[in-house]
Each structure stands twice: as structure tokens, then as C-alpha cells.
């Protein structure tokens, strides 16, 4: 009786996954202003759009490689194909969850469920996200050395502060003596660390080898070069004539701002940031808004649709497996 109920529950869960994936795909497509999108597409260069789409999809695979480096360092087994699929699926949910990192929870849940190593998986997702943003900020900092006279002072200062804060956060998390000292002086902090899941997560965060972190950072640089390239290609498609240096500084700032959980898939936040930054460089407001829309469609919606199909097929396969038991 118990096995029959478990089998029935699995079938219901997998059927629900199929339904959710279909609903999410429909909602994602409906979230785009089709009239505005059509106008932008009509005036954009299709070859640059196609190139940007290819770069966007390639970027997902590169992200999977970065994640696998961290997972291997934590002895979590996962194939590159599985991780790439999970990255696409994460984009599906990122489109409808607050902030630009909503899909990370889905990646962590799915891989934790299949490996049984929840603390380590969550740790790799957090470190993976941080290493990506840190690499992007490093690119922006180097770009500032060559573009400080082009970038408004407040934007330059913001970039330096963000990089400094990121470095400080990395030091705080990795400093075992600091955590041990806080645990000795603050009983409440010590009790928090004594909770098994919290202790496991903190231990995992502090256990990465230097080699794994350096390789992750290097792959992060590669991915962010692709991300900036995608933005440049979309700028070319919209006939935006700006120096590459602007993209090297503006794209990292946008990525940081999108972390804030104030909208779904960063909608509104992304548009406002692009308009503010690119109009500072002389781009017309309407064109800057069009660029942000295309970045959303090519960089988030397109991978999300691929992820929706992958999630649909994943659920269908699981449903048939349970059906055949």
C-alpha cells in the first residue's frame, strides 16, 4: 500500500513538473512587450542578433564548466551535460522569480535531490555566483584604468566600491580564525554554527582549494567576456556606436544591480540601469531601452525557453519511468 502511494505521488509530482514547465514558458513569452519587441527586431541587424544568441547559449555551457570545477572540489559527482541542463532550467525559473539569482535555488534543489549532498551543492552555487560576479568586477576595474576619462566619476567610484566590498566579503567568508573568534565571543553566533546544516554549509564554503578557485575565476573571466560580447553584438545590431570600454564598465554594474530582489527576472531594474548608464554615454533613451530589452530576450528568455523544453522532457521521462515501475 505504501509503495503504491509513493508511486502515485511520484506520478503526480512529475505531472506537476510538466504542467509547471508549460505554464512558465507561456508566462515568459507573455512577459515580453511583443509590440515593442517587434519594432526593435524590425530595425535590428538580424546577423548580429543571431551571433548574440549563439554567444548567449555558449555562455550557459561555460557556466556549467565553472560549476563543475567547484563541484569536483567538493567531491560532488555531476556530468557536464547534467549541469548544462540544470543551468538552462534555472533560466526558466529566473524569468519568474525575484532578483537575477532566483534560478540558483532551482539548480541547488535539483542537484541536491539527485546527489544527496545538499550543503556542498548549495555552497558551490553560492561560490559559483560570487566568482562570476567577482571576475566581472575585475574586468570592469581593469577597464577603468583605460577609460576613467570617459566614465562619469560617480560610476567609476561605484565600480571601485563594489570590487572592494566583494573582496572584503570573500575574505570574511574564507577566514576561519575570524569565524572561530566570533563563535568564542558571541554565544548566539556559536549556537547558530552548531546547527548541522549551517555548520556543513560554512565548512564547505571554507574548504575550497586555491587551485579550484583560481580555475573557477579563470573560467568566470571567459564567461564574462562572452557576456560582454553578447551586449556589444546587440549594440551593433541596434547601431549603437560606443567604445568597447563603456560595455566593459556598464555590463558589470548592471549584473550587480540585478541581484537585488525587487522585481521578477530583473524586469524594470535592468531597463532603468541600462537607460541611466548608456544615456550617460550619449545613447538615446529609446535605443538604450531597446538594448536592455534585447539583452533580456537573448540572454534570459531564450535560455529559459530551452530550459523549459528540457524541464518538460525531464519530467516526461521521470513520469514514464514511474509509470513503468
Q: In terms of C-beta density within 10 A (0-12 exposed, 13-18 middle, 19 or more buried), how is residue 8 classed?
A: exposed
Q: Please state, in angstroms and as integers, the Cα–Cα distance from residue 43 to each residue in 48, 97, 194, following that order.
A: 12, 31, 59
Q: What is the mean pLDDT of residues 210-222?
A: 90
Highest mean pLDDT among 76-90, 97-111, 191-205, 306-320: 76-90
Q: Poorest-confidence range of 95-104, 245-254, 283-292, 297-306?
A: 95-104
Distance (Å, whole) CA 17 – CA 6: 16
pLDDT of 186 over the 60 cut: yes
Confidence bin at 31 (pLDDT 50/70/90):
low
Distance (Å, whole) CA 15 – CA 12: 5
Residue 74, SS3?
coil
Tally of domains in the chain: 1
**Residue 141 CB neighbours (<10 A):** 18
Residue 284, SS3?
coil
Q: What is the mean pLDDT of residues 83-109?
A: 77
CB 147 within 8 A of CB 246: yes
Give the pLDDT confidence score for residue 14 in this predicted structure.
53
pLDDT of 26 over the 80 cut: no
CA-based nearest residue to 251, from 233, 277, 283: 277
Give the pLDDT confidence score for residue 89 in this predicted structure.
87
Cross-strand partners of 264: 98
Q: What is the pLDDT of residues 249-299, one digit of tens each?
A: 888 888 877 765 555 555 667 777 888 888 888 888 778 888 988 898 899
Q: What is the mean pLDDT of residues 12-25?
A: 57
Give the pLDDT confidence score for residue 22 in this predicted structure.
60
Which one is predicted more confidently, 59 or 120?
59
Query: What's the start-to-end Cα distance of the chain, in Å?
Result: 14
pLDDT of 170 over the 90 cut: no
Confidence bin at 162 (pLDDT 50/70/90):
confident
Q: Poorest-confidence range of 55-59, 156-160, 202-206, 249-253?
A: 202-206
Q: If you write DSSP's letter for every residue of 107-162 in order, what string do you get? A: HHHHHHHHHS-HHHHHHHHHHHHHHHHHHHHHHHHHHHHHHTTTS-HHHHHHHHHH
Give the pLDDT confidence score for residue 93 in this predicted structure.
78
Domain that holds residue 230: 2-323
Distance (Å, whole) CA 270 – CA 275: 9
Q: What is the mean pLDDT of residues 26-52?
A: 72
Give the pLDDT confidence score for residue 321 in this predicted structure.
41
Distance (Å, whole) CA 105 – CA 66: 17
Which one is predicted more confidently, 307 or 318?
307
Confidence bin at 99 (pLDDT 50/70/90):
low
Highest mean pLDDT among 60-64, 200-204, 267-271: 60-64
CB 90 within 8 A of CB 106: yes
Give the pLDDT confidence score for residue 273 in this predicted structure.
81
Which one is predicted more confidently, 109 or 27?
109
Q: Please state, in angstroms and as integers, the Cα–Cα distance from residue 64 to each residue in 9, 57, 154, 161, following that order.
A: 31, 11, 34, 29
99 sits in the region (left: phi over 0; alpha: psi -120 to 50; else beta) called: left
Q: What is the mean pLDDT of residues 227-244?
A: 92
Give the pLDDT confidence score for residue 319 in this predicted structure.
45
C-alpha cell at 227: 557576456
pLDDT of 235 over the 90 cut: yes
Q: What is the mean pLDDT of residues 235-240?
A: 91
Amino acid at each position: 500500500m505504501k509503495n503504491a502511494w509513493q508511486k502515485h505521488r511520484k506520478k503526480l509530482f512529475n505531472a506537476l513538473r510538466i504542467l509547471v514547465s508549460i505554464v512558465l514558458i507561456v508566462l515568459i513569452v507573455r512577459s515580453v512587450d511583443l509590440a515593442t519587441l517587434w519594432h526593435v527586431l524590425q530595425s535590428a541587424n538580424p546577423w548580429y542578433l543571431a551571433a548574440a544568441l549563439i554567444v548567449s547559449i555558449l555562455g550557459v555551457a561555460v557556466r556549467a564548466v565553472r560549476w563543475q570545477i567547484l563541484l569536483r572540489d567538493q567531491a560532488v559527482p555531476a556530468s557536464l551535460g547534467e549541469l548544462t541542463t540544470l543551468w538552462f532550467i534555472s533560466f526558466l525559473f529566473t524569468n519568474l522569480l525575484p532578483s537575477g539569482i532566483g534560478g540558483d535555488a532551482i539548480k541547488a534543489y535539483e542537484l541536491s535531490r539527485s546527489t544527496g549532498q545538499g550543503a556542498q551543492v548549495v555552497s558551490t552555487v553560492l561560490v559559483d555566483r560570487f566568482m562570476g560576479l567577482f571576475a566581472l568586477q575585475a574586468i570592469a576595474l581593469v577597464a577603468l584604468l583605460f577609460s576613467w576619462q570617459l566614465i562619469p566619476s560617480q560610476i567609476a567610484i561605484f565600480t571601485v566600491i563594489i570590487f572592494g566590498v566583494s573582496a572584503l566579503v570573500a575574505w570574511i567568508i574564507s577566514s576561519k580564525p575570524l569565524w572561530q573568534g566570533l563563535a568564542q565571543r558571541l554565544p548566539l553566533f556559536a549556537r547558530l554554527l552548531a546547527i548541522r546544516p549551517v555548520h556543513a554549509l560554512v565548512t564547505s564554503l571554507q574548504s575550497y582549494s586555491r587551485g579550484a578557485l583560481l580555475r573557477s575565476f579563470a573560467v568566470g573571466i571567459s564567461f564574462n567576456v562572452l557576456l560582454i560580447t553578447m551586449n556589444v553584438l546587440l549594440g551593433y545590431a541596434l547601431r549603437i556606436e560606443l567604445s568597447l570600454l563603456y560595455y566593459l564598465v556598464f555590463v558589470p554594474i548592471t549584473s550587480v544591480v540585478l541581484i537585488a530582489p525587487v522585481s521578477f527576472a530583473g524586469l524594470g531594474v535592468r531597463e532603468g540601469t541600462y537607460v541611466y548608464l548608456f544615456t550617460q554615454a550619449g545613447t538615446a533613451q529609446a535605443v538604450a531601452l531597446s538594448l536592455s530589452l534585447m539583452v533580456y530576450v537573448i540572454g534570459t528568455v531564450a535560455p529559459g525557453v530551452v530550459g523549459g523544453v528540457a524541464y518538460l522532457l525531464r519530467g516526461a521521462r521521470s513520469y514514464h519511468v514511474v509509470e513503468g515501475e
